[in-house]
Amino acid sequence: MQYNKTMQDTIRRLLAELGEDPAREGLVDTPARVEKSLRFLTGGYSVDVDTVINNALFTVEYNEMVIVRDIDFYSLCEHHMLPFFGKAHVAYVPNGHVIGLSKIPRLVDVFARRLQVQERLTSQIAECLSEKIQPLGVAVVMEATHLCKAMRGVEKQNTTTVTSAMRGVFHQDARTRQEFLKLIGR
């Protein structure tokens, strides 16, 4: 990892502002660890979506729903920089092309590894898939626990936030949408 003196000095100042001694044994290496952690958790900013897809689009005559469900994801809320995490369920109906199945969880990670709100994250995944593979429709449902709600604020530990983005046939056709929601157990 490239050492960033400015970021690590900022983290040292933050520790001091919190009332800690950044020079004590347990905190001496904390600025470097926090920098490394934040760079990993926000690594989605530096990822090119086309590189992730890597030409894994294949011509296939298949026009039934493809679902990748229960994709674990972790993100940081942009309001408090606290984690939110959960499961993403992504479906599309091909229009002459399918995408490599491993690419869908990778795309979820690209957008989750940014400072986010769950609503935008859900839409970004749907829009990206719509643009890149031009299917007949895309559906994304995300279920997450937000530590900003659990650890502070309302302090409700057992709440789940569910967001959805429906494009194409999932938006226009109630039967297609219902089939998707039934298959993901919603």
Distance CA 178, CA 23 (A): 57
- Range 7-22 burial, b when 16+ CB lie within 10 A, else e: ebeebbeebeeeeeeb
User: Active-site residue among 134, 148, 171, 179?
Assistant: 148
Closest CA to 81 of 29, 32, 17, 38: 38
169, containing H or E segment: helix 169-172
Q: What's the chain's Rg over C-alpha atoms?
A: 20
Do 71 and 125 contact (CB within 8 A), yes or no? no
For the record, the structure tokens of 134 come out as 């031009």
Of 35, 77, 116, 143, which is the active-site residue?
A: 77
Active site residue 97: no
128 flagged as catalytic = no
Catalytic residue among 8, 89, 143, 146: 146
Q: How far is CA 69 from the centre of its chain?
A: 14
**Active-site entry in 79, 119, 131, 157:** 79
The CA distance from 166 to 144, in Å, is 18
- The catalytically annotated residue of 80, 97, 171, 179 is 80
Active site annotation includes 80: yes
Question: Among this protein's residues, is 148 annotated catalytic?
Answer: yes
Catalytic residue, from 8, 89, 116, 118: name it: 118
Tell me which residues are annotated as active site.
77-80, 118, 146, 148
